[in-house]
Amino acid sequence: MSNKHFIPLSVPNIAGNEWKYVKDCLDTGWISSVGSYVTQFEQMVADFVGAKYGVAAVNGTAALHIALLLSGVKQDDYVILPNLTFVASANSIKYLGAEPLLIDADPDLWQMDLDLLEEFLENETDEKNGELIYIKDGRRIGAIMPVHILGNMCDMDRFLSIVKKYPLPIVEDATESLGTKYKGINAGKFSPLACLSFNGNKIISTGGGGCIVTDDEALAKHAKHLTTTAKARNDEYYHDEVGYNYRLVNVLAAIGVGQMELLPSFIKRKKEYVAFYKKELTGVADIRFQKELPEVDTNGWLFTIQTDKQQQLLDHLNANNILSRRFWMPMNMLPMYKDCVYVQKRDNSKYIYNTCLSIPCSTNITGEELSIVVREIKEAIG
Ligand SMILES: Cc1ncc(COP(=O)(O)O)c(C=O)c1O
């Protein structure tokens, strides 16, 4: 029996006070770029992550752009990041005229491969006048961007111990990992500036939105300044540097406040269905799961399985109204990034791309829908 009822991949779950707070914005006229919900949302996000400050932004990409800029990334620098990520990570580097330097993925964790990173830094870089240089062409490496892929994390202790030997600022792309912890420490706490996203498919959503989190007051103030057109006076249009209109408007922040109130229940729900999927799909055909380190407590953001029968499964699920998606195409396979330096031995990124698919995992997915997804996976390849 084929499934007639459409099951989305990962959609917003508006289940709390969002309507009430949005109505408040509409009733009072505070719908635009300033307002109490913006401040409240920033504080709620910062408090949740355990950071001192939050600076809301129009989306996660804009947050990354500003975080890289404030970390000192300049035109013609390289920025190291995983080859397997969503395109926005690499684009934010390009916006500064810098160049992505791609590291292949670990075959089990699907995060940046730390062996490759370590080898690359040891053998292919040099330090000159306190700066890290890529030996082959003498260009500076301005920063490194770990991305917590699918809300999971790599061995962060090892990552930090590798990176701290070099003058290399870290900018965490924590856009997918709100609520993920490594040894009890939240994603977003592993670099001076880290970025979150609240787009439609994230664990909480403001429709579109992002946030920079930091413990540094000066960086927080500067981030706020740059995301709000760098206006330096209240009484006049005096702007003291090239700023950006990257504000999250009050009406979206109001949704965000409602969503933050629900976040603990969303994380709980994600954990329940991850456990359900793992129990039901273990031993079905050649299905494998993303490895999780014992130190990592993931937010279970986007449930993704691996099988050599990827295309067969994708075709079957989508034909049965169950939205499932292939993994992101690796950066080195995109036209803009195909000539980037790509550090790899076995091109695991390509294999992961060719074998992984994400399956429905909205926080409001029902038990019945979960059972239908499992049934259809078994039907397709079981
Ligand atoms: C890894 C990664 N980086 C950056 C972004 C960009 O976030 P946004 O869509 O809010 O701009 C996303 C989400 O889309 C993402 O998954």
Supply 320's token pair.
Answer: 């049965």
Phi, psi of 356 (to 5 degrees): -100, 145
CA distance 94 to 114: 24
Distance in Å, CA 60 to ligand 1 centroid: 5
For every residue of 153-211, DSSP letters joined together read: ---HHHHHHHHTTSS--BEEE-TT-TT-EETTEETT-SSSEEEEE--TTSSS--SS-EE
CA distances from 24 to 21, 219, 262 (A): 5, 31, 19
- Do 319 and 340 lie in a common domain? yes
- Do 202 and 275 lie in a common domain? no
Three-class DSSP category at 262: helix
Residue 124 lies in a domain: yes
Q: Where are the beta strands (DSSP E) in 187-297?
A: 193-197, 210-214, 288-289, 296-297
Residue 84 lies in a domain: yes
- Ligand 1 atom at minimum distance from 85 CA: 1
pLDDT for res 12: 97
- Do 281 and 377 lie in a common domain? yes
CA distance 278 to 6: 22
pLDDT for res 3: 75
- Ligand 1 atom at minimum distance from 61 CA: 11
pLDDT for res 216: 98
pLDDT for res 4: 81
Residue 226 lies in a domain: yes
Q: Measuring from atom 1 of ligand 1, which residue has the nearest CA?
A: 86
Among candidate residues 199, 231, 260, the one where a domain is terminated: 260
Residue 2 lies in a domain: no
pLDDT for res 1: 60
Supply 214's token pair.
Answer: 């930091």
Phi, psi of 111 (to 5 degrees): -95, 175
Distance in Å, CA 236 to ligand 1 centroid: 35
- Do 214 and 283 lie in a common domain? no
Supply 57's token pair.
Answer: 């932004």
Q: Measuring from atom 10 of ligand 1, which residue has the nearest CA?
A: 60
pLDDT for res 320: 97
- Tokens 């791309």 — which residue? 353
Q: Measuring from atom 7 of ligand 1, which residue has the nearest CA?
A: 60
Range of the domain at 204: 18-260
- Ligand 1 atom at minimum distance from 173 CA: 3
CATH number at residue 69: 3.40.640.10
Question: What is the residue type of 165?
Answer: K
- Do 333 and 233 lie in a common domain? no
Residue 1 lies in a domain: no
Distance in Å, CA 283 to ligand 1 centroid: 32
- Tokens 């980037």 — which residue? 340
SS3 content of the chain, % helix, strand, coil (to 5): 40, 20, 45
Distance in Å, CA 197 to ligand 1 centroid: 6
Q: Comparing C-alpha atoms, which of 273, 278, 226, 261 is closest to residue 95?
A: 226
Residue 189 lies in a domain: yes
Q: Cα torsion for 320, 312, 112, 141, to the nearest 10°?
A: -90
Determine whether 229 is exposed, middle or buried from the number of CB atoms within 10 Å of its CB (0-12, 13-18, 19+).
middle
Pocket test for ligand 1, best of 86, 110, 153 (most atoms within 8 A of CB): 86
- Ligand 1 atom at minimum distance from 88 CA: 4
- Do 370 and 320 lie in a common domain? yes
Residue 208 lies in a domain: yes
CA distance 322 to 314: 9
Pocket test for ligand 1, best of 91, 111, 171, 175 (most atoms within 8 A of CB): 175
Residues with CB under 6 A from ligand 1: 59-61, 85-86, 88-89, 147, 173, 175-176, 197, 199, 210
- 52 contacts 296 by C-beta, under 8 angstroms: no
Distance in Å, CA 198 to ligand 1 centroid: 8
- Do 176 and 286 lie in a common domain? no
What is the total count of domains within the chain? 2
Phi, psi of 319 (to 5 degrees): -65, -20
pLDDT for res 289: 98
CA distance 110 to 150: 9
- Do 130 and 278 lie in a common domain? no
Q: What is the pTM of this model?
A: 0.98
Distance in Å, CA 203 to ligand 1 centroid: 12
Distance in Å, CA 231 to ligand 1 centroid: 27
CA distance 188 to 204: 15
Q: Which helix (H) or strand (E) holds 41?
A: helix 36-49
- Do 193 and 293 lie in a common domain? no
- Do 133 and 43 lie in a common domain? yes
Distance in Å, CA 56 to ligand 1 centroid: 14
- 61 contacts 86 by C-beta, under 8 angstroms: no
Residue 250 lies in a domain: yes
Question: What is the residue type of 95?
Answer: Y
Q: What number of other Cβ atoms are within 10 A of residue 178's Cβ?
A: 28
- Do 128 and 220 lie in a common domain? yes
Supply 262's token pair.
Answer: 């629900």
CA distance 94 to 76: 9
- Ligand 1 atom at minimum distance from 149 CA: 1
- Do 115 and 151 lie in a common domain? yes
Among candidate residues 220, 236, 260, the one where a domain is terminated: 260
CATH number at residue 302: 3.90.1150.10
Distance in Å, CA 196 to ligand 1 centroid: 8
pLDDT for res 133: 98
State which residues of the chain have pLDDT below 70.
1-2
Among candidate residues 206, 232, 260, the one where a domain is terminated: 260
